[in-house]
Chains A and B, each alone.
Chain A
Amino acid sequence: MSIQAPEATALAVAAQNLTKTYGTGPTAVTALDDVSVGFERGKFTAIMGPSGSGKSTLMHCLATLDTPTSGALTLGGSRVDGLDDDALTTLRRDRVGFVFQAFNLVPTLSAEQNIVLPLELAGKKPDAAWMAELVERLGLGSRLKHKPHELSGGQQQRVAVARALLPRPDVVFGDEPTGNLDSSSGAEVLRLLQRSAHEDGQTVIMVTHDPVAAASADRVVLLKDGRLAGEIIAPQVEQVSSALARLGAAS
Chain B
Amino acid sequence: MNSLVKANVVAYRRRYAAVIAAITIGVAFLAATLYVGSSVRATLGASVGQAYQKADLVVTPDFWKAEEPPKLTPAQAVEHVKSASGVRATLAYENTMLGAELAGGQESVHVTVTDGDTALLGTGLTEGKAPGVGEATLNSSAAAKAGLTVGSTLTVQVMPEGGKPVTKELTISGLRQDPQDPSSAGYSNLQLSKQGAEALGLTFTPATILVGVEPGTDTAGLVDQLGAFFTEEGLPWAQVGTAEQRVTEQISQLSGGVDALTWVLGAFAGIALVVTVLVVANTFSVILAQRTRELALLRTLGARRGQIRGMVLGEAVIVGIVGGVLGVLIGTGVVAGGAAVVRSAFKLPYVTFGFTWAPVIVGLLVGLLVTVAASLRPALAATKVSPLAALRPSDTVTVRSKAGTTRVVIGLLLLLVGAAALIYGILPNDGGSDAFQTSFGMAFLGGLVSFIGVLVLGTLLIPWAVRQLARPFGAKVSGRLAGLNALRHPQRTSAIGTALLLGVTLVALMLVGATSARSTLNSELAKQYPVDLVISSSAENPLPASLQDAVAAVNGVESTAYLTPAGATPGCPGYGSEQEQANSTCAFAVAGDEAALQAVGTDGAKAPRLGMVAVGEYALQSPDGAVPTEVTLSDGAGRTVTVPIDTEAAAPATRIVMTEETRTKLGLPTTTKTQDEADGYMGPGPQLWLKADDTVATGTLMSEVAKAAGVDQGNLDGALPIRTIASQIIDTLLMVVSALLAVAVIIALIGVSNTLSLSVIERTRENSLLRALGLTKKQLRGMLALEAALIAGAAAVLGVLLGSLYGLAGAKAATSALGGFTPGIPWLWLAVVLVVSVGAAVLASVWPARRAARMSPVEGLAVE
Contact = CB atoms under 8 A, between A and B. Distances in A.
B858 A118 contact: no
Given A66-B856, A107-B766, A93 B484 contact: no
Interface string A21-59: 000000000000000000000000000000000000000
Contacts of A66: 856, 858
Interface string B747-776: 000000000000000000110011111111
B395 A65 contact: no
Contacts of B770: 106, 117, 121
Given A86-B777, A104-B766, 5 more contacts: A66-B856, A86-B778, A93-B773, A93-B775, A100-B769
A100 B488 CA distance: 23
A122 B771 CA distance: 12
Contacts of B3: none
Nearest to A93: B774
Contacts of A120: 477
A149 B774 contact: no
9 contacts: A60-B858, A94-B774, A102-B393, A104-B765, A108-B484, A108-B485, A117-B770, A121-B779, A122-B774
A100 B484 contact: no
Contact of A65 (B397, B481, B772): B772
B73 interface: no
Interface of B is mostly: helix
Contact of A106 (B481, B856, B858): B481
Contacts of B397: 107, 149
A7 interface: no
A106 to B, nearest CB: 6
Contacts of A147: 398
A143 interface: no
A98 B774 CA distance: 11
Contact of B861 (A90, A100, A108): A100
Given A66-B856, A117-B477, A107 B773 contact: no
Given A66-B856, A66-B858, A108-B481, A92 B398 contact: no
A85 interface: yes
A89 interface: yes
A225 B481 CA distance: 41
A163 B773 CA distance: 10
Given A109-B484, A117-B477, A104 B775 contact: no
Interface of A: 60, 63, 65-66, 85-86, 89-90, 92-94, 98, 100, 102, 104, 106-109, 117-118, 120-122, 147-149, 163, 180
Contacts of A92: 772-774
A104 B477 contact: no
Interface string B838-858: 000000000000000000111
Contacts of A118: 773-774
Question: Which 10 A-B pairs give the minimum distances between C-beta atoms?
Answer: A93-B774, A108-B484, A120-B477, A121-B774, A104-B769, A149-B397, A89-B776, A65-B857, A118-B773, A65-B858
B695 interface: no
Nearest to B485: A108
B856 A104 contact: no
A89 B484 contact: no
A121 B772 CA distance: 11
Nearest to B483: A108
A66 B771 CA distance: 12
Nearest to A164: B773
A100 B765 CA distance: 12
A58 B488 CA distance: 35
B766 A89 contact: no
Contact of B773 (A60, A98, A102, A148): A98
B487 to A, nearest CB: 8
A104 B769 CA distance: 7
Interface of B: 393, 395-398, 477-478, 481, 484-485, 488, 765-766, 769-779, 856-858, 861
Nearest to A57: B858
Given A65-B858, A106-B766, A86 B776 contact: yes
Contacts of A149: 395, 397-398
A215 B90 CA distance: 114
A86 B477 CA distance: 18
Contacts of B778: 86
Contacts of B393: 102, 180
B769 A89 contact: no
Nearest to B765: A104
A93 B772 CA distance: 8
Name the residue among B393, B772, B778, B858 with the largest chain A CB count within 10 angstroms: B772
A104 B774 contact: no
B488 A108 contact: yes
Nearest to B770: A106
A98 B772 contact: yes
A89 B774 contact: yes
A127 to B, nearest CB: 17
Contacts of A117: 477, 770, 773
A7 to B, nearest CB: 28
A57 B770 CA distance: 20
A18 to B, nearest CB: 15
A107 B395 contact: yes
Given A92-B772, A107-B397, A85 B777 contact: yes
Contacts of B484: 108-109
A147 B395 CA distance: 13
Name the residue among B397, B485, B858 with the largest chain A CB count within 10 angstroms: B858
Contacts of A90: 774, 776
Name the residue among A63, A86, A107, A109 with the largest chain B CB count within 10 angstroms: A107
Contacts of A108: 398, 481, 484-485, 488
A100 B770 CA distance: 13
A130 to B, nearest CB: 18
B396 A107 contact: yes
Contacts of A102: 393, 395, 765
A163 B839 CA distance: 36
A117 B488 CA distance: 18
B392 to A, nearest CB: 12
A60 B766 CA distance: 17
B858 A89 contact: no
A60 B477 CA distance: 25
B398 A107 contact: yes
Contacts of A122: 774
B337 to A, nearest CB: 47
Contacts of A60: 858
A75 to B, nearest CB: 14
A108 to B, nearest CB: 4
Contacts of A104: 765-766, 769, 861
A165 to B, nearest CB: 13
B217 to A, nearest CB: 83
A148 B777 CA distance: 25
Nearest to B862: A56
A149 B394 CA distance: 12
Nearest to B395: A107
A23 to B, nearest CB: 14
A197 B839 CA distance: 50
Contacts of A148: 395
Contacts of A109: 481, 484
A92 B488 CA distance: 27
